[in-house]
Amino acid sequence: MVSNDNIQEYEVAIAGGSSAGLSAALTLGRTLRKTVVIDGGSPRNRFAAHAHNFFTRDNTPPSELLRIAREQLQPYETVDLVEGYITTASKTDGGFLLETRAGDRYFAKKIVLATGLKDDLDDIPGLEELWGNRVIHCPYCHGWEVRRLPVCVIANGEAAEHYAVTLSNWHSDITFLTQGESRISAEMTEKFVEKGYKLNTTPIKGLEKSGEGVKITLQNGDVLETGAVYYRPQKLLYHNSLAEQLGCEMSPDGVVTVSPMFETTVPGVFAAGDLTHAGLHQLYMSAMGGHLAGTNANRQLTQEAW
């Protein structure tokens, strides 16, 4: 353990205060662990108007879910919520040393990384402004709200083929925008014709709101009006710099490797939420991972003390 008046000491430090981080904090608060949650206030789902498929909280704004979660942490006097960004993390005697952008330093025996990821959006004018609202990526999250409406899908190749099958339960009028020459298989292209799906290879010039839907202008001047747009970024930017500094194993794409107990390959460092999944980016999965990370951080502390 470090000895310095300028360093605040905790049993567990949680980097990130969204679904995974606050779930871990709740678990650790209930196990009487002195815990700090350090968060910069920019959750990935902040662009979405409502969250869905979250038991007892369907159709609740993401910001409201976080407000409730923070409010329900108040009875647990061992949990502190701090606004800030952790920039450095290192192993030290008996635990880990963290420093924020503002220069605040923290020591913790265990760490839970719940730093999430960022969607790397294509450079299409209007896409960022509509992202998470009229441009959506997950039908399980938002498909019911635009059910049976005509929709456009920005995707090509295997991604388009996957969307075609998945969306067939929600939509029958689908236009696929491949942004250039189609890489969809001949077999699936025939299936598109059978289903009445449309295929357009002309690149997009821009997107904008149109009534309750979206207006899509193509580079050849054609205009499409649609109820919503499905789009999944080709690349996800995982916030894994702390995991990298600590020496945690990661996939080539940047996903942090965890055990079934959500411990990384570095003993004492746990991770949960979007940071630990290549595709299971759901509130429930994040909350579940945070709970298990908190449970097992407590288990280790208890065994070590015993």
- Contact indicator for 49, 64 with CB cutoff of 8 Å: no
pTM of the complete model = 0.91
pLDDT tens, N- to C-terminus, the chain (306 residues): 555 668 999 999 999 999 999 999 999 999 999 999 999 888 776 777 777 788 888 878 888 999 999 999 999 999 999 999 999 999 999 999 999 999 999 999 999 999 999 999 999 999 999 998 899 998 988 999 999 999 999 999 999 999 999 999 999 999 999 999 999 999 999 999 999 999 999 999 999 999 999 999 999 999 999 999 999 998 999 999 999 999 999 999 999 999 999 999 999 999 999 999 988 788 888 999 999 999 999 999 999 999
* Distance of alpha carbon 82 from alpha carbon 94, whole angstroms: 23
Instruction: Count CB neighbours of 112 within 10 A.
Output: 34
* Distance of alpha carbon 225 from alpha carbon 216, whole angstroms: 6
Helix 157-167 with 186-195: angle, nearest 10 deg: 30
Longest dimension (CA), the chain: 71
Angle at 259 between CA 253 and CA 263, to 5 degrees: 95
